[in-house]
Amino acid sequence: MSNIEAIRDKYLQQIGSAVDGDALEAIRLAALGKKGEISLLLKTLGQMTPEERQEQGPKINGTRQNVADALAARKEAMETAALDAKLATEKLDLTLPAPATPKGSIHPVSQVMDELAEIFADLGFSVATGPEIEDDWHNFTALNIPETHPARAMHDTFYFPQTDEGGMPKLLRTHTSPVQIRTMMDVAKQTDGAGEPIYLIAPGRTYRSDSDATHTPMFHQVEGLVIDKGIHMGHLKWTLETFIRAFFERDDIELRLRPSYFPFTEPSAEVDVGFSVEKGRRIIGGDPHGGVDGVGGGWMEILGSGMVHPNVIRNCGLDPDVWQGFAFGCGIDRLAMLKYGMDDLRAFFDGDLRWADHYGFDALDVPTLSGGVGA
Ligand code: PHE
């Protein structure tokens, strides 16, 4: 074996057993660096006779190329091995369970509001809102509520301190009925007093100075308002029946309308739903006279309603001889309690996550008139 072949084999062997990039670099410098063994050999070509050069040149150049190729190949192999090792240790186990992410839930009151919007949308009603900080006129006066009415008493209603002299006293609205006023006035304004049909519900927060197991200072109501031509109590009764049956998802719910009094409706009716007793539990629906299993049953008041008082229609700038309608107001929290089986109203607003997890909803499973939950 010639000298040059020995040199080549020496480096190829060293390259083969190099353990890392540093070792490779040291080999490269020793062989191919400026003062490397092979580089020096290449320089000797210049002193050779043409014949010698013709013989030695290809051998030395070939050796240089062999060593350079071997260095490159070994380097690549090392990099691939390093990457493989890294991938092996960083491997993801897709079968492991994902870490639990805390998940919010939909509050029963929000759920019920969505259900109401859905049910009434099927009947052609839109959703209206109004301010929670109202003035005395929209909350009381325009609704035909006399100065002497007990709801106006300081101990029943949250008033704001009067700031501007002669301005209207501000208060937290005691019911959603001022949304009736705001909507009718908007319609009167937009139609130059001519009027047009109104079909709306107005869900939202309301406030009264009240607190016990069934009353919280803040609670929720839904208002219903229909204004059209030739509207009568039959329309009111049918609408309420359709709504209550869709909401509780039972066709056998009876309603009872009892004569009542609200300053803003005439005639007025309080509405009861029939309940029956099943396995010792009250459930909405069934026979209110005997109960499903023949024991118990009765009526539960759920809302106030009536035909919109002509004074109210007039106060809003519409002609009560042309436009008639009905209105109702219903406690949303109570609807939620009855449908989903909660018994303490105060727990609704405590913000206890355990309660929210238990009674909250995952997705918007909303009943419609065409069928039960999620239909
Ligand atoms: N606003 C009444 C209340 O809060 C309910 C109601 C609304 C009654 C509309 C009749 C018509 O008690």
Query: Any bridge partners for residue 106, and if so which?
Result: 361
- The candidate with the shortest Cα–Cα distance to 263, out of 326, 313, 309, is 309
If one residue of 177, 207, 271 were mutated to test the ligand 1 pocket, choosing by the most ligand atoms within 8 A of its CB, it would be 177
Residue 144 DSSP class? T
What spacing in Å lies between the alpha carbon of 263 and ligand 1's midpoint?
9
Residue nearest ligand 1's atom 4 by CA: 175
What is the structure's pLDDT at 87? 87
The pLDDT score that the predictor gives to residue 145 is 95
365 Cα to the center of ligand 1, angstroms: 28
Hey, what are 213's tokens?
């197991």
If you take atom 9 of ligand 1, which residue's CA is the nearest one? 328
pLDDT at residue number 344: 85
Closest C-alpha to ligand 1, atom 10: 305
Q: How far is the CA of 305 from the centre of ligand 1 (A)?
A: 6
pLDDT value of position 64 = 93
pLDDT at 368: 53
Evaluate whether 326 touches 308 at the Cβ level (below 8 Å).
yes
Confidence at residue 374, expressed as pLDDT on a 0 to 100 scale? 42
SS3 6: helix
Contact status, residue 139 vs residue 171, Cβ threshold 8 Å: yes
Q: Please give the full DSSP string across 174-213, using - where no structure is assigned.
A: SSSTHHHHHHHHHHHHHTTT----EEEEEEEEEE-S--BT
pLDDT at 46: 87
| DSSP code per residue over 106-119 | B-HHHHHHHHHHHH
Q: How many residues does the chain have?
A: 375
> How much is the CA Rg of the chain, to the nearest whole Å?
43
Closest atom of ligand 1 to CA, residue 180: 9
> CB within 6 Å of ligand 1 — which residues?
175, 177, 262, 265, 304-306, 327-329
Residue 125, phi-psi category: left (phi > 0), alpha (psi -120 to 50), beta (remainder) = beta
Residues in CB range of 151: below 8 A, 6 or more apart = 140, 145, 157, 174
d(CA 59, CA 185): 104
Residue 331 neighbours by CB under 8 Å, 6+ apart: 219, 220, 221, 302, 303
Nearest atom in ligand 1 to 225's CA: 9
pLDDT, tens digit only, all 375 positions of the chain: 578 889 999 999 999 999 999 999 999 999 999 999 999 988 988 898 989 889 888 999 999 999 999 999 999 999 999 898 888 888 788 888 888 887 788 999 999 999 999 999 999 999 999 999 999 999 999 999 988 998 888 889 999 998 777 778 899 999 999 999 999 999 999 999 999 999 999 999 999 998 887 889 999 999 999 999 999 999 999 999 999 999 999 999 999 999 999 999 999 999 999 999 888 788 899 889 875 566 788 999 999 999 999 999 999 999 999 999 999 999 999 999 999 988 888 899 998 989 998 999 886 555 555 554 443
Residue 156, C-beta contacts closer than 8 angstroms, at least 6 positions apart: 150, 174, 208, 209, 210
Residues contacting residue 236 through CB under 8 Å, at least 6 positions apart: 226, 269, 305, 306, 307, 326, 328
Q: What is the CATH T-level fold of the domain 109-372, as seen in this structure?
A: BirA Bifunctional Protein; domain 2 (3.30.930)
Residue type for position 14: Q
